[in-house]
Structure 1
Amino acid sequence: RSRNISKIVVGKPTGSRWREALFGSLVNDIIKQSGDIDVYVIRGEPEDETSTLPLVLRSAQSWPAYLFGLLVVALCSALGKVLSAYLSPPNLIMIYLLGVVFIAARFGRGPALLASLLSVIAFNFFFVPPILTFNVADPEYFITFGVMFVVALIISTLTLRLRHAAEAARRREQRTAELYDMSRELVTAKSLEQVREIVLRHMQEVFASAIVLLLPDENGRLTTPAGASFAAEAKEQSVAQWVYDLRQRAGLGTATLPGANALYLPLFASRGIVGVLGVRPQNPGAMQNPELLQLLETFANQIALAVESARLSEEAQRAQILIETEKLRNTLLSSVSHDLRTPLASITGAASSLLEPENTLPAATRRELTQTIHDEAARLNRLVRNLLDMTRLESGAVKLNKEWQPLEEVIGAALTRLEEHLTGRQVATHLPPDLPFVAVDGVLLEQVFINLLENAIKYTPAASPLTISARLLNENVVVEIADRGPGLPPAEIERVFDKFYRSRAAEGRGGVGLGLTICKSIIEAHGGRIWAENRPEGGAAFRFTLPLKG
């Protein structure tokens, strides 16, 4: 009345009439005290007595359990016969009580109740005068029988309760340990896929249920992951979306949309709802267990925090990628613009000088300016070619045109193209006479040699020699281009093939850091690998492999 309630709806009690007579009825009490409030009594669903505990905890009602109880009583009787010469009949009752305790602990209430009754009968038959009959000479033994039966029943009940409590405590400890393990793994999860994998692995074992973690897309629509068959149904998707939109649990075991095959819980974090957790238990009655539901809520809270953390981590990664991309773009634009401006400025300056009247410039100067235009145009051509090659390789537009050909021809073509740049250098070539042909794209492999040789020319003294060698190793041809320059800084050996990476020693030498990256892409497209090392005798060596199985 204080809350302005005008109608009360209660369920019809399902207990026995004897219990109602002894302890009263809540429904009757409500009706008597309702006054002017309408009371509606409705029929409820039968209570699902299925236990959520493991099978070993349930009262075993199978015939083997009852037969085993009968066997235990028989063994107690045999033991009592042996000890009857030394013990009085009241003391023999303890043997039967031990048997009842064992049956209660092992098989549950039903067999223990039968064992209690059989113990009274067996004690009367074997040990109460007249022996081997069901007659009782002394009426006082009826009190003994009654006390014996009640004590056996109480002991079996207490034993069963202790066993249930111990098993429940063990289960709680196990679930708490699983929750701790899951939380510890979720802390290290950096992506939503990792979170989903950890959640499924732990919760399926703890709750003996099919689990699905539904996360929203950018439009707020929940997406069903692969493998979640029950959540892929249209009805289940509608229930899950309702839970996400209205921020309330629904589905199996609830008063909202109970026709669903699973229970759906909203996942709340500090920034609001982050997803929905779906649980379809093998035993639908498990969703009526308050302890299990509370544990499920605890798991859901941990999962929500992990999902939010993973999203924040992914957002941070995307932001970092954008920062790095912008930084790389600025570096590239700065480097490319500088390397494009330098030859263009030289070409423009030389061309402007050549446009002056002929009598103002001597012939030698004109030739020098013409050579400058030629050299800078070639430099500009190499720069643009590297940029275009890298773009084509990354886009996958380059298709290998493999042909079986001798390696010395490819090396010879590269040396011919670099003849002018190699002036004054000794280039030694060491190729074994029995070196087999290799299946390669000759044009691309020639570019690899050109880029590696140009790199060696750029970073070594003008007169230092270069060595090109090859050898057969297992099913590969290993090619090496070595120099006798200063070598590579140890910290840069693993980075020299990175895109746009330029050594500190490259300052003032031009280039945008694509030559070695192009080499790596071409070699890997051929199925080989490329790496750099410092030589013990000094200088650097660039090696790559070419598989013979073209």
Structure 2
Amino acid sequence: MESLELADHIRRDVEAIGRISAVPSMLRLICEQTGMGFAAVARVDGDSWTACAVLDRINFGLKPGGQLELHTTLCVESRAARQPIAFDHASTHPVFRTHHTPRIYGIESYISVPIVKGDGSYFGNLCAIDPTPHGVDNARTIAMFQGFADLIGHTLELEDRQSATEVALFDAEATAELRDQFIAVLGHDLRNPLASLSAIGELLARRAADPDSTRAGLRIRATTKRMASLIEDVMDFARGRMGNGLDVAREQIPDLGLALDDVVAEMRAAHPARTIAADIHVTDIVHGSRGRLQQVLSNLLGNAVSHGAPDSPIDVAAWTRDGWFVLSVKNQGEPISPGNLQKIFQPYWRPAESRGHGGLGLGLHICSLIVKSHGGTLQVTSTAEHGTSFVARIPVRPGVAAVA
């Protein structure tokens, strides 16, 4: 019975790592930056070593869910010391030239860094190996590994808290308490490892003489920007929940159309495989928050990219007419069921079939809050024939009540 429970626990941890969308990019970046042919996220406890995510370019033969004998790995020593282990050339290393792990697996270069959750519990290791020597025992490489490991550990802690919140949904008081803890983790604990990882990305991106480093830095920056966006969504929700409202500093915006064009351009650059068609004709001055209205379009576009049919274009339209600013985002794909349409703007809500797309279920809720703070409405329609459309209608001048 205990073995079945342990197997289920391991399976859940493997699945948890699989839900972190940034992990494949991290492993790819590790191999590109170090030259190592195999990189993995491993779950390591006192009894077992299990691969949760793998990038294998040397035919090592291990896949997610695969296991190694714990005593044959160096991760067990890293776990015991809670310290990184790295060497460039095992055959000439004063310690590891006689160690059993390089001999068993035929490796020359190796690095392993502990993954520790925000609550201090040990999850496993971020590691890489290769049968040829590579320079990994240096401060720069170890710092990159530690930044990635910190982000993985805090993301796992975040998912643990989110799962606990979902289990407690039927208890209103428990739900409120867990949600407050969830917000605290995002607003405080995640900022430090995210700032560290962002700094690594900036450093790599500025290495103009090294195109590979520049590309790697840009990928890290994109990942940290995504994480920062999730944090800001939750903090926005927290401010609204506590009665402080959203931060909407309204002003006269004479060039809102250009501001929306910038959002479309950023989304196209982030998703070059997707077609985003834009028809933006905002001719009037709009009284509102430039940044918040850009956020509405960004969130709606992100939603369309995640849930729309990948082989169909996303249509963006915006215009001003008769005292109204109208913004529309439309995509094709599986329609939203009528029952889900009634819940789609609720916080922390996502349909079961969309759980694999990541996110926290706050983007559309934040959009609705922003539109409402501008005195407008946000509506959604979804059919198999016409696709899914989100339409925001906002008065160009304050003091006008929006009409559906």
TM class by shorter chain equals 0.3 to 0.5
Answer with 1 or 2: which has the greater Rg.
Answer: 1
TM-score by length of 1: 0.34
**Relative contact order, CA 8 A, sep 6+: which one is greater?**
2
